[in-house]
Chains A and B, each alone.
Chain A
Amino acid sequence: MQLKKISGKISLASCALLQVSSPAAVAAEGWDVDSAFLYYAESGGRVSAFEPSVRAQVDLGDDEYINFQVVVDALTGATPNGAHKSTVVQTFTEPSGGSKSDDDGESEGEYTVKPGELPLSKTFRDTRLAVTGEWNKPINRLSSVLLGASFSSEVDYTSLGGSATYEYNFNNKNTTLAAGAAVTFDTINPIGDIPSGLNPMRRATSDQQRLGNSDTKTSTDFILGVTQIINRSTLVQLNFTHGISSGYQNDYNKVLSVIDPNTNEPLVGAWLDVNDLPYLFEQRPDKRTRDIVFIRGVHHLTEDVINLSYRYYTDDWGIDSHTVNLRYRYELGSSKYLQPHIRYYTQTSADFYKHDLVQGTDIDASGNVNLRYASSDYRIGAFDSVTYGLSYGMKLSKNSKFSLRGEYMQQMNDNSKVPRPGEATPDLSAVILQATYSIAW
């Protein structure tokens, strides 16, 4: 039995290294159940999330297993809508629009933002349910196939996916080669239908001029990877990923402010057409191609373990990023450990990222936009991000374990190209708390 367990772990060490979903707990034939709870909260009352999850895996013997995972993602809060701060009150139309008036000074279907405040979307609530399943089927002593399926649903988004990864061991099982592919079909059903990209946001009381009620996106990814055991205490993993996404890739909630070149301020009130607000809906390309290099090393010191990874990402939207992740597992003895974690991330901006649109330059006097694509979503702008974290883990019994994790994330936006003072995109910080409990029998 013990030998079987070790054999299973060796197999994991040398084989199933490519999947994000590689099992956390490994045992001989039987069940492993992992459960976890995540709390995520951003500063300034922005987004917070509660995310419980359960994952069960049944080992069928000879390295064959099936697992299922369920995640519930409950989100609430507000996110920047892409517009600028202004010295005057700004009015925005809610995605759902509207046609009546109410008695709080705002028209129904609209919301206002005070002078000097960063415009955030109206507070939203959303719940997402995601279910995934995997089946790992050994083909022979040296190779196996991992098949995966996924489904998720939220109020305005549905996703359906499938994946297959083939693994082959050689060099006395010290080298594992893996090749995989995945495809995901997403359907977007914007609340209030699809806004017309690079066209003005309309007053809630007017015709919203929407483009239909749903659109789709298809993503395909291919991965080629090798995992190599270097010596008794070190292994290295190298992956190349190539991915393509086609279809609707806008964030339908995001707009860009139109700036008056005479005042250097966002335009206020009606603009061109009396029913148009001075904000244009963003428009992104409908195709995105990405390449990723990922390398990870795991090294065992006398007792402790270092897990270090680096990722280089580049895509044809002009975004390049570098990510470094370092975890140091410090063994406290008695099956307890402390694990400091640091993550550094930096990205360049997309080619079509624009802090704002200037009337007369980006938009002519008739309201024609001289750009094909534009977005002021800070997430495709240039920024650096650092996360510091600490985990504490302990074995509760022979078959169960528990861990707690706390992390602090800071995103620091590059505001060097912001044309006017006082309009810098504010930095974001967030707290991440997580508890995990695993049991095997």
Chain B
Amino acid sequence: MNRLYLLIFFVFLTACSSLGVEPWERDLLAKDSMQPVPNYYDNFYDEHIYFSKEASSGGQGVGGGGCGCN
């Protein structure tokens, strides 16, 4: 299963090489609203709540610490 994930990952990566924008085309990408996590605390609290109420967690990043709430 992990090999399949790695394969998907590298296919994705290869396909990436033909995509993108020039430096002067980044006006929209620079907006706060275009950040993957536009509001830090919305994401932070959601991660904390669902970590304590559901059996799965993670995926967005690593680190952040443990909690006895689960």
Contacts and interface: CB of A to CB of B under 8 A. Distances in A.
Given A51-B45, A291-B2, A350-B55, A161 B65 contact: yes
Nearest to B19: A230
A107 interface: no
A242 B58 CA distance: 10
A201 interface: no
Interface string A274-302: 00000000000000001111101010100
B20 A175 contact: yes
B20 A23 contact: no
A379 B53 contact: yes
Contacts of B27: 232
Contact of B21 (A157, A229, A300, A314): A229
Interface string B11-23: 0110011011111
B41 A24 contact: yes
**Chain B interface helix/strand/loop/mixed:** loop
Contacts of A227: 36
B38 A307 contact: yes
Interface stretch (A11-19, A355-363, A416-424): A11-19
A321 B34 CA distance: 27
Interface stretch (A88-96, A109-117, A147-155, A257-265): A147-155
B29 A403 contact: no
Interface string A172-207: 111101001110101010000000000000000000
Contact of A14 (B5, B9, B16, B29): B29
Interface string B26-38: 1111111111111
Given A177-B13, A241-B59, A219 B30 contact: no
B45 A434 contact: yes
B65 to A, nearest CB: 3
Interface string A133-176: 00000000000000010111010110111110100000111110
Nearest to A300: B28
B45 A20 contact: no
B58 to A, nearest CB: 5
A311 interface: yes
B66 A20 contact: no
A240 interface: yes
A143 to B, nearest CB: 16
A-B pairs, top 6 by smallest CB distance, nearest first, are: A174-B20, A157-B68, A163-B63, A150-B65, A24-B40, A159-B66
Given A40-B49, A161-B66, A228-B20, 11 more contacts: A9-B31, A17-B36, A132-B64, A174-B20, A184-B66, A232-B21, A294-B59, A311-B56, A311-B59, A331-B33, A347-B54
21 contacts: A13-B35, A22-B40, A55-B40, A161-B64, A162-B63, A165-B61, A175-B16, A181-B62, A182-B62, A228-B19, A231-B20, A235-B34, A237-B36, A240-B6, A240-B9, A291-B5, A292-B59, A300-B29, A321-B55, A379-B54, A434-B42
Interface of B: 1-2, 5-6, 9, 12-13, 16-17, 19-23, 25-50, 53-70
